[in-house]
Amino acid sequence: MILRLAFASLAARALTVGMTILAIALSVALFLGVEKVRTGAKASFADTISGTDLIVGARSGSVQLLLYSVFRIGNATNNMTWDSYKDLAAQPEVDWIVPISLGDSHRQFRVMGTTTAFFERYKYRSGQPLAVSDGAVMDDLFDAVIGADVAATLGYEIGAPIVVAHGLASFTEHKDQPFRVSGILEKTGTPVDRTVIVSLEAIEAIHVDWRNGAQIPGQSTPADVIRQMQLEPQAITAALIGTQSRLQVFSLQRAINEYPQEPLLAILPGVALQELWQIVGIAETALIGVSGMVVVTALIGMMATIFSSLNERRREMAIFRAMGARPRVVLGLLVLEAVLMAIIGAALGLALLYAGLFIGQPLIDSAFGLWLPIEPPSMRELWVLLGVVAAGAIVSMVPAYRAYRMSLADGMMVRN
């Protein structure tokens, strides 16, 4: 009976109730959407590099090594020698190893020297490999493969020339050895999108006429002569390592950290990523706080709506009392109406969220490389929905208590 009365009362005030429900739905959709983006961003962040057991570089800090080797942020304090790299590659625990050489740039995008094994071994998003959307990986000494953001920002296509600049913020360019775009990678949502990838030999080739960071005056070796040279590097920036067995990771890490020939550092990417997320993850707390305040604002709006309707419903409440309804029935009716609005608003908000995910998932993935999985509501999200309903019941207690206190005489009195 009381449930039917509650529905009839809500239907009689359809416009006001509908606006309140819509406000709750939008706030719930925003809160859960922020939660989806937060968890998606954290998962994408953690999946920036996948399937790599160790990252090795010159001894510094774990976050610093991760930043310059994976995220292309900052610079290495030192390089590791090529002899050390070959020694590590020969260790029985090492299944595969990929060298990385950084230091040059192209129009503010980092240039990375590596081998073709990088395209086979580098994984992201829980094991997804790199894929070429157009062209092919390096085949010639002066071929370059560019990330999706590089191609989109600079408007490059296959065959476009690339002139590499010496250093990161340098006006000195290797104009005598230009590269050619041989391939464009599909968007990954990782720093690879903002990277120009060339071969290790190419990095050595463009520095043949350079010493101590400057070009030797008057010297310019022809490209044909350079192609005949032994272009083995003297040093590299870092290396990605995969082990034969996960059980060997910690013993190999300890051996590298105690490497006697030079000071090296080996880090576990997952552990370093967690450390880095603790530094940059404060933004997620701010997002949750803002979206939570939106939900609170919507619930306060619902309370205000109930309050504003009390004067209009005084006679209605008095009639209920005159017909024998107890005060707690009046209180329960108002609380039930608020709970129904909260339930409908939460359900509508959840529906809006999934509709937005179905529409926006491919667009967000292609634009930002952020993958938002469409999955059933998690236990955390269900608790959020339950909390919204409970909060709706709680905030309705204030106007409901006021209605409870209304007297029969006050409700029946005609005011001029």
For 9-25, the pLDDT digits (tens) are: 778 777 888 888 888 88
Q: What is the mean pLDDT of residues 124-151?
A: 92
Q: Is residue 377 part of a domain?
A: yes
Clarify whether residues 301 and 214 are in a common domain. Answer: no
Under a CB-based contact definition with an 8 Å cutoff, are residues 340 and 7 in contact?
A: yes
With CA atoms as reference, report the closest residue to 32 among 395, 388, 403. 388
Q: What is the mean pLDDT of residues 276-302?
A: 77
Under a CB-based contact definition with an 8 Å cutoff, are residues 311 and 400 in contact?
A: no
Rounded to whole angstroms, the Cα distance separating 186 from 133 reads 5
Clarify whether residues 346 and 396 are in a common domain. Answer: yes
pLDDT at 298: 80
Using pLDDT thresholds of 50, 70 and 90, give the confidence band for residue 319: low
Q: Is residue 276 part of a domain?
A: no
Q: Which residue has the higher pLDDT, 337 or 179?
A: 179
Q: Is residue 273 part of a domain?
A: no
Q: Is residue 272 part of a domain?
A: no
Q: Which of 267, 298, 324 is the last residue of a domain?
A: 267
Under a CB-based contact definition with an 8 Å cutoff, are residues 273 and 45 in contact?
A: yes
Q: Is residue 247 part of a domain?
A: yes
The pTM for the full model equals: 0.73
Q: Is residue 274 part of a domain?
A: no
Q: What is the mean pLDDT of residues 92-121?
A: 94
Reduce the DSSP state of residue 186 to 3 states and report it: coil
pLDDT digits (tens, 9 = 90+) for 182-193: 999 998 888 999
Domain that holds residue 31: 2-45+281-412
Clarify whether residues 190 and 60 are in a common domain. Answer: yes
Checking if the pLDDT of 399 tops 90, the result is no
Q: Is residue 275 part of a domain?
A: no
Clarify whether residues 22 and 117 are in a common domain. Answer: no
Checking if the pLDDT of 408 tops 50, the result is no
Q: Which of 233, 267, 301 is the last residue of a domain?
A: 267
Q: Is residue 229 part of a domain?
A: yes
Q: Tell me phi and psi for residue 75, to 5 degrees.
A: -130, 155
The terminus-to-terminus CA distance of the chain in angstroms comes to 34
Checking if the pLDDT of 35 tops 90, the result is no
Q: What is the mean pLDDT of residues 113-135?
A: 92
Most confident listed range (227-236, 295-304, 370-379): 227-236
Q: What is the mean pLDDT of residues 205-232?
A: 81
Q: What is the mean pLDDT of residues 126-142?
A: 92
Clarify whether residues 89 and 165 are in a common domain. Answer: yes
Clarify whether residues 244 and 175 are in a common domain. Answer: yes
Checking if the pLDDT of 315 tops 80, the result is no
Clarify whether residues 247 and 302 are in a common domain. Answer: no
Average pLDDT, the chain: 84
Checking if the pLDDT of 295 tops 50, the result is yes
Q: Which of 238, 267, 296 is the last residue of a domain?
A: 267
pLDDT at 364: 76
Checking if the pLDDT of 73 tops 90, the result is no
Checking if the pLDDT of 105 tops 80, the result is yes
Number of compact structural domains in the chain: 2
pLDDT at 210: 76
Q: Tell me phi and psi for residue 279, to 5 degrees.
A: -80, -45
Q: Name, in order, each residue with C-beta under 8 angstroms of 16's C-beta and a sequence gap of 6 or more.
A: 305, 309
Clarify whether residues 314 and 251 are in a common domain. Answer: no
With CA atoms as reference, report the closest residue to 345 among 376, 300, 302, 380. 302
Clarify whether residues 18 and 77 are in a common domain. Answer: no
DSSP 378: P
Q: Which residue has the higher pLDDT, 412 or 60?
A: 60
Q: Which residue has the higher pLDDT, 78 or 215?
A: 78
Q: Which residue has the higher pLDDT, 176 or 253?
A: 253
User: Which of 110-124, 209-223, 349-363 has the weakest average pLDDT?
Assistant: 209-223
Q: What is the mean pLDDT of residues 268-276?
A: 88
Clarify whether residues 124 and 262 are in a common domain. Answer: yes
**Measured CA distances, 275 to 45, 279, 280, 366 (Å):** 12, 7, 9, 28
Clarify whether residues 236 and 93 are in a common domain. Answer: yes
Query: Cα 20 to the chain's mean position, in Å?
Result: 33
Packed helices 62-69 and 269-280: angle between N→C axes, nearest 10 degrees: 90
Clarify whether residues 75 and 133 are in a common domain. Answer: yes
